[in-house]
Amino acid sequence: MSLQIKPILVALRRHKAGTLLIALQIALTLAIVCNALFIIHQRLATLSERSGVDEANVFVIQNQWAGDRSTQQVDAQIQADMLALRQLPGVRDAAPISGGYPLRGGGWDNFVTMTPDQVKPTTDSSVYMGDEHLLDTLGLRLVAGRNFRSDEVHGRGNEQTIIPPVVIVSKALADRLFPGGSALGKSFYAMGATPSTIVGIVDRLHRQGASQWDKAHAGQSLIWPARLDDPSGIFYVVRAKPGQLAATMREAPKALYAQSRMRIIDPKDGIQDYAEIRHRVFDSDRGMGS
């Protein structure tokens, strides 16, 4: 073999410029292709992240209130809206959700501490608020403990920061705070003066954001039992019965407008299913991955 390599090496030495050019080209191409592949791989990994939501059957309604409503009026309207949505034939369950919804692209997050006076936070968690129907509506899988009871869910105004005494957390948050699977029944503080006790743990619940900054607490989420009676608006999540997503998405706004016309549901993007939500939130990542 060495006999055959020698003439090649000699030839290469005689055409130094050509050899150098080819070597340079190969090196540059490899460098750029490898880097590009690495970036694509990273982005594709983000794209395929699971949200924990039953994405095939769930859609979100962005409901903005019109006019000047008091907190009490908003609370009553939310409850009336929920009854109307849950009565639709294609609907399995429906719930109000505040703080954002999984993959919304941004929302609430609170620092978490183990004691009320701890200055340096233990970690950070996405915060969702909803009622006892939220778990079933999103399709979250309870792996320990129980769901909220209806008597634990209260309406609260924007400025009424009342920390609910019970909380449901994602497994990622439970494991982060109490390694070893002993989280159920334990308490923590999420920027409040009073603690919340973990009554339930769900398998998986994605944060609202999909950007890079909150990667560190990916998957760490908590749900508080509350209806946030924000006079500007609220999100409703609705889970359709299998195969009835499209029909239910058409029926839902009609049912809500029948309850009250003093609301705004954007005809263009006021109602989105998870295919659209995913598409929107990962727009920039998909560009880099395609």
Cβ proximity to another protein: between 32 and 83 the closer is 32
Q: Encoding tokens for residue 156?
A: 């609260």
Return the axis-axis angle of helices 16-47 and 2-14, rounded to nearest 10°: 100
Does 288 interact with another protein (rule: CB under 8 A)? yes
Q: Provide Rg for the chain, Cα atoms.
A: 26
By CB under 8 A, name the one of 5, 8, 10, 193 that touches another protein: 193
> Of residues 150, 158, 182, 197, which one binds another protein by CB under 8 A?
158
Binding mask 254-273 toward another protein (x if CB under 8 A, else -) reads -------xxxx-x-------
Are 238 and 64 a contacting pair, CB within 8 Å? no
Question: Do 247 and 91 touch, CB atoms closer than 8 A?
Answer: no
- Pick from 6, 9, 11, 24 the residue near another protein by CB under 8 A: 24
- Coil vs helix vs strand at 113: strand
Q: Which is nearer to another protein, 28 or 80 (CB)?
A: 28
Question: Please, which residue, 9 or 36, has the CB nearer to another protein?
Answer: 36
Q: Which of 17, 48, 115, 258 binds another protein (CB under 8 A)?
A: 17
Q: Which is nearer to another protein, 111 or 178 (CB)?
A: 111
Nearer to another protein, 145 or 157 (CB): 157
Instruction: For another protein, give the closer residue by CB, 65 or 236.
Output: 65
For the chain, the first-to-last Cα distance in angstroms comes to 44
Helix axis angle, 245-259 relative to 71-87, nearest 10°?
A: 140
Of 39, 45, 83, 275, which one interacts with another protein (CB under 8 A)?
39
Provide the mask over 116-155, with x wherever binding to another protein is found by CB under 8 A and - wherever it is not. Answer: x--xx-----------------------------------
Strands annotated E in 100-190 = 109-112, 123-130, 142-145, 154-156, 166-170, 187-188
Q: If you write DSSP's letter for every residue of 226-289 in order, what string do you get?
A: EEE--SSEEEEEEEEPTT-HHHHHHHHHHHHHHH-SSEE--TTTSEEEHHHHHHHHTHHHHHHH
Beta pairing partners, 223:
128, 168
Cα–Cα distances in Å, from 270 out to 97, 125, 132, 185, 241? Answer: 15, 27, 24, 38, 21
Q: Which of 4, 48, 115, 290 binds another protein (CB under 8 A)?
A: 290
Count the residues of the shown chain that bind another protein, applying the rule CB under 8 A.
43
Contacts of 1 by beta carbon, 8 Å cutoff, 6+ apart: none
Binds another protein by CB under 8 A, chosen from 6, 11, 18, 203: 18
Interface residues toward another protein, by CB under 8 A: 17-18, 21-22, 24-25, 28-29, 31-32, 35-36, 39, 64-68, 111, 116, 119-120, 158-162, 191-193, 230, 232-233, 261-264, 266, 283-284, 287-288, 290
